[in-house]
């Protein structure tokens, strides 16, 4: 694995390279340290005599993935069965989630470790206690993205939510470093529109949970004016009418679809393809580890695989959802997760069978391999 610290020219020769708009091979990627200089067919790049060569003839090389909605602070809780009783399930999460600072930090570190094992280079992470601990752990690792402080606006938590909003108003507008601070009113059923309006008036990135269950579909109408104020990353949106989808597109809302989490809770007919056709930016997220199907990695790669196998979803559209759409939803430069020249959040490689006539990237989606980091 190369690191961004090594300022040297490297030529990666891969069986196949893919990004949100590219699928070609055999192909090469020329790097200067961790920055992309050029990517294309070998004849496009020519000889690079001073470069170190890395040969990956049976690998698909692609940008690191964007998990646009996760709860790393729940990573101490393993996947568990769901019996259809949502409030009992939530109670189990509330009692099992870490509360002491050390325990939160340990859970987040484990979540970061699992994210790296899944080829994740950028996250939109919900800091459920608005403690700042996840942001600190993300910065220590170098995992890029947005750490959203979550606001709960009911009962005694409301006062704390208002104090967090006051603090956030004093955050520097132009933050440096790989992790930005954001704000996330939890959901319309725990935050009133006053909290949503105050959050939307801030320059910080904003996220929320939206229309996860059928009973919440009306909440999109209640939030339309707030959503129109600025781009928001709205997790789930499992239920939306055609008119609501048009409103989300007009508001430049990013919908962060969490396919495995939706399947886990029995929400089976997400309109992600209809949303994309209507002009909504649809990204992918995992949501928290307790509602996933595996505990050995935390990555939207497995959500791409689910959608390809279950819905025959287009591979390039899936990669766009897992990279550039996620970056846009987090307010980041989408070229951090493309093969365009410049800085990148990382490159990962996945094996395929060169003797198999099936497109290598389709093979990746049909197989179960874990990614290996090429550049991090």
Residues of this chain that interact with Zn ion (CB under 5 A) are 287
In angstroms, what is the minimal distance from the CB of 295 to Zn ion?
Answer: 17
Please name the residues in contact with 5: beta carbons below 8 A apart, sequence gap of 6 or more.
Answer: 33, 34
In angstroms, what is the minimal distance from the CB of 129 to Zn ion?
Answer: 14
Query: How many Å apart are CA 91 and CA 66, to the nearest integer?
Result: 29
**Closest CB to Zn ion among residues 187, 322:** 187
**Closest CB to Zn ion among residues 94, 170:** 94
In angstroms, what is the minimal distance from the CB of 232 to Zn ion?
Answer: 14
**Closest CB to Zn ion among residues 73, 287:** 287
Q: CA dihedral defined by 214, 263, 184, 323, rounded to 10 degrees?
A: -130
In angstroms, what is the minimal distance from the CB of 207 to Zn ion?
Answer: 9
In angstroms, what is the minimal distance from the CB of 290 to Zn ion?
Answer: 11
**Closest CB to Zn ion among residues 287, 303:** 287
Bridge partners (DSSP) of residue 62 are 348
In angstroms, what is the minimal distance from the CB of 55 to Zn ion?
Answer: 41
Q: Give the strand pairing for 52-63 and 347-351.
A: antiparallel
**Closest CB to Zn ion among residues 137, 287:** 287
DSSP 337: G
DSSP 369: P
Cβ count within 10 A of residue 117: 15
Q: Helix/strand/coil (H, E, C) string of 120-144?
A: EEEEEEEECCCCCHHHHHHHHHCCE
Q: Of all residues in this chain, which one has the CB nearest to Zn ion in the complex?
A: 287
Q: Which of 242, 232, 221, 70 is nearest to 143 (CA)?
A: 70
Crossing angle of helices 242-250 and 219-229, in 10° steps, is: 10
**Closest CB to Zn ion among residues 56, 68:** 68
**Closest CB to Zn ion among residues 19, 287:** 287
The tokens of 335 are what?
A: 């070229």
In angstroms, what is the minimal distance from the CB of 291 to Zn ion?
Answer: 9
* Displacement of CA 165 from its chain's centroid (Å): 24
């Amino acid at each position: 694995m190369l690191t961004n610290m090594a300022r040297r020219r490297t030529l990666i020769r891969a069986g196949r390279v893919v990004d949100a708009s590219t699928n070609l091979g055999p192909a090469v990627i020329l790097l200067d340290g961790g920055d992309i200089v050029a990517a294309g067919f070998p004849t496009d790049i020519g000889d690079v005599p001073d470069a170190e060569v890395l040969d990956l003839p049976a690998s698909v090389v692609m940008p690191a993935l964007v998990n646009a909605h996760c709860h790393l602070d729940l990573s101490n809780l393993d996947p568990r069965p769901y019996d259809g009783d949502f409030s009992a399930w939530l109670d189990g999460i509330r009692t099992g989630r870490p509360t002491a600072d050390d325990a939160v930090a340990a859970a987040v570190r484990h979540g970061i470790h699992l994210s790296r094992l899944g080829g994740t280079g950028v996250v939109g992470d919900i800091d459920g206690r608005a403690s700042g601990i996840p942001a600190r752990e993300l910065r220590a690792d170098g995992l890029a993205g947005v750490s959203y402080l979550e606001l709960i606006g009911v009962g005694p938590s409301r006062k704390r939510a208002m104090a967090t909003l006051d603090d956030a108003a004093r955050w520097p507008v132009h933050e440096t470093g790989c992790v930005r601070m954001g704000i996330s009113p939890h959901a319309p059923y725990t935050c009133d529109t006053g909290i949503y309006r105050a959050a939307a008036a801030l320059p910080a990135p904003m996220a929320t949970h939206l229309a996860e269950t059928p009973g919440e579909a009306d909440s999109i109408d209640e939030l339309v004016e707030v959503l129109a104020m600025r781009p928001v990353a709205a997790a789930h949106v499992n239920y939306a009418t055609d008119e609501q989808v048009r409103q989300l597109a007009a508001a430049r809302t990013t919908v962060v679809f969490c396919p495995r989490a939706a399947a886990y809770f029995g929400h089976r007919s997400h309109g992600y393809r209809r949303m994309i056709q209507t002009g909504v930016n649809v990204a992918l997220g995992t949501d928290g580890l307790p509602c996933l199907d595996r505990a050995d990695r935390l990555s939207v790669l497995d959500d791409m695989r689910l959608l390809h196998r279950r819905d025959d979803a287009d591979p390039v559209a899936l990669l766009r959802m897992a990279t550039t759409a996620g970056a846009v939803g987090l307010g980041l430069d989408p070229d951090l997760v493309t093969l365009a020249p410049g800085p990148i959040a990382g490159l990962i490689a996945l094996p395929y069978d060169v003797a198999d006539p099936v497109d290598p990237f389709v093979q990746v989606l049909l197989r179960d391999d874990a990614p290996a980091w090429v550049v991090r």
